Amino acid sequence: MKEALQDIIDLLKKYNFEEQIINNQVYFFFHRRYYRFFIDDSFLWIQCANTIQDLENGNLEECDQYQMKGISAEKLLVEIKEVILKKYVIPTLPVYGKRNQSFAKAVHFDNFCPQDYVILDIRQTQDFLERHLPYAEHIDGYEKLIKVIEENVEKKILLQCYSGHTASLLGNDLVLSGYKNIYFLDEYLEDFWTL
């Protein structure tokens, strides 16, 4: 189970929890609160308080425990990831968009320069072939999408569909997976050619 704890620590770092090591104990700081994750006997504990002193003195705001006996490290990690996302990460993420809401940043035509982005068109192939935005690349699978994103980590990735809805949902998934350069076109694509 120690490997599961290390996987959880890696997950926390991915979501920008700042690691602090004090007196050989690992603490995490995230949105003005301190967290301590540790395993004893057959439980994983997640404790939360305003200060490290409060954690050490047992003055806890929250304390969750997870039974680990008879559970695989992989299953534990899935459960903890869900808790971390729903309880700690998602409530603190800003939401963007006028028509569609997303954790990805919204782009609108009034300040749109296609050459500023790596534009990933996620529409049907035939629709892409008929007409598409300048500089757009057609993406027809998740593996290809991730490959393009990871090859362009220093660039702005713009997801574009028909109306912004599907792009906003995909943007949520990518931001929650740890990608920080994700944008979505929050517009009806057809309006681009009538500007």
The pLDDT tens digits for 54-77 are 988 889 888 878 776 667 767 777
| Structural domains of the chain, with CATH | 2-92 (3.90.1150), 105-194 (3.40.250.10)
Sequence-separated (6 or more) residues with CB below 8 Å from residue 177: none
pTM for the model: 0.70
Mean residue pLDDT across the chain: 87
User: pLDDT for 143-187, tens place per residue?
Assistant: 999 999 999 999 999 999 999 999 999 999 999 888 989 999 999
